[in-house]
Amino acid sequence: MAAVYRFLSLLVIATTLLSTTTVAEIRSTEIRSDARSTIPFDEFGFTHSGRLELNVSRIALSYPDGEPKPDLKQVGFFLCTRDAWIHVLDQVVRREISCPFQSNLIKQIFTFDKLQNSDRYDSTYNITEANLFTLVFGNCVPNLKVSMGVQSAMYNLDDKSNRRDYLSAGKTNLPWIYFLFFLIYSILAGIWIYVLYSKRLSVFRIHFFMLAVLMLKALNLLCETEDKSYIKKTGTAHGWDVLFYIFSFLKGITLFTLIVLIGTGWSFLKPYLQDKEKKVLMIVIPLQVIANLAQVVIDETGPFGQDSYTWKQVFLLVDVICCCAVLFPIVWSIKNLREAARTDGKAAVNLMKLTLFRQYYIVVICYIYFTRVVVYALETITSYRYQWTSVVAAELATLAFYVFTGYNFKPKVHNPYFALDDEEEEAAAEELKRLDDEFEL
């Protein structure tokens, strides 16, 4: 159990460090009577030929009667990198400045004193400094409430064709990466179908389930490819995004179900599920539904959207519970196998199964740890220009997990009366005894 708790605490640490995704789309936001001093919009990685289009309409300002006319030089939009923002906050704390617009670390886009009795402002800016910028609305006038509709688009221009690329620098090759993994999973599905066909006499129901998981993963990657290349070209995500959400949803549910089913030994070790194993499924499946809903909300509202933070917390909490829940059936199976090894005489066969399940337990933990914690760490430490590397790392880890699972639980010609000589049987019994002593879960 100690291993499970250690694992749990690591995941909880990851909860507090949730990643922010940079979705670069044309975005439209309504601000209503808002007095916040800063409102972040989108974050985008610009190349040397980037551009920001900002259309602000229906601008209405309201401030309490009797107060002097506000200084509108202190209200407006600016771009800022994360590092610069920390310095600006520091300057404010040290009272060197009282408003971000007085700092030369930000890139001022426009301030409301330029409005000249108009209620809208449309503008386009060339960004020539390659960096990761956040578009922020700043309001340094106390008690001033702002209402407006904000349409923003950030994109880079291709050097040669001058075409717009709405994917942030560092994410612009994601369509290719997803397509490559789609091809790999398609090939794996082909191989798996061939294995099922050639070993059809020793195929269990779970092997067809594994095929379904593999195909859903491939379809999910195909939709992700389409989705990302659609965003890249148009800046909006309304191509295949619904299909993408459906397949992610099915993939999430089936993958967790598969891990639980394999963990219980269903159809390998026994044809039915015990009540407590069914309970794990009854917890994991609804939680996956919630996790997927949360993911849709997070994706659709963008990193700074309202409620996005709450949904991120919900997603992480649910994810942590699911990840821990799937470990229990494996632990139970290992326990059962050890008991069986003590009572029935077939030491060699039991040792084989026990070793397999112990490996599986460790691999599931590594998979979860890698895709949750290590990938997050990579995302945080790599420069925005290499954001694709964390996607590749996560996909490679997932691929390795699929290959391990497929290879180790593939249909085997199974013969319970497998002839073993006494020497091998004795060695296995010795080994089982040693494991018994050292491996206390």
Ligand X SMILES: *[C@@H]1O[C@H](CO)[C@@H](O)[C@H](O)[C@H]1NC(C)=O
Q: What's the token pair of residue 156?
A: 């880079």
Q: Does residue number 122 form part of the binding site for ligand X (CB under 6 A)? A: yes
Q: Report yes or no: 304 and 82 within 8 Å, Cβ to Cβ.
A: no
Q: In this structure, are residues 304 and 328 in contact, taking their beta carbons and an 8 Å threshold?
A: no
CB of 53 to ligand X, least distance (A): 4
Answer for which of 34, 53, 71, 300 binds ligand X (CB under 6 A) is 53
Rank residues 52 and 262 by Cβ distance to ligand X and give the closer one. 52
If one asks whether residue 55 binds ligand X (CB under 6 A), the answer comes out as yes
Check if the beta carbon of residue 196 is closer than 8 Å to that of residue 203: yes
Is 26 an interacting residue with respect to ligand X (CB under 6 A)? yes
Query: Which DSSP category does 139 fall into?
Result: E
Number of residues forming the site for ligand X (CB under 6 A): 8
CB of 47 to ligand X, least distance (A): 13
Kindly tell me which of 152 and 168 has the beta carbon lying closer to ligand X: 152
Q: How far is the CB of 82 from ligand X (least distance, A)?
A: 24
Site string for ligand X, 79-118 (x = CB under 6 A): ----------------------------------------
**Which H or E element spans position 214?**
helix 205-234
Q: Which of residues 411-430 bind ligand X (CB under 6 A)?
A: none
Q: Which residues of 11-27 are buried (b: 16+ CB within 10 A; e: fewer)?
A: beebeeeeeebbbbbbb
State which H helix or E strand residue 75 sits in: strand 75-80
Residue of 234, 225, 227 lying closest to 166 (CA atoms):
234
Shortest distance (Å) from residue 124 CB to ligand X: 7
Which among 2, 140, 122, 135 is positioned nearest to 71, based on CA atoms? 140
Pick 74 or 152: Cβ nearer ligand X = 152
What Rg, from alpha-carbon coordinates, does the chain have? 28
Which of 122, 134, 139 lies closest to 56, judged by CA? 122
Name which of residues 189 to 228 contact ligand X (CB under 6 A).
none
- Enumerate residues 124-163 that contact ligand X by CB under 6 A: 126, 151-153
- Shortest distance in whole angstroms from residue 156 CB to ligand X: 11
Output 11 or 153, the one with its CB closest to ligand X: 153
In the complex, the smallest distance separating the C-beta of residue 78 from ligand X, rounded to whole angstroms, is: 16
* Count of Cβ atoms closer than 10 Å to residue 30 Cβ: 10
Residues that bind ligand X in the complex, under the rule CB under 6 A: 26, 53, 55, 122, 126, 151-153
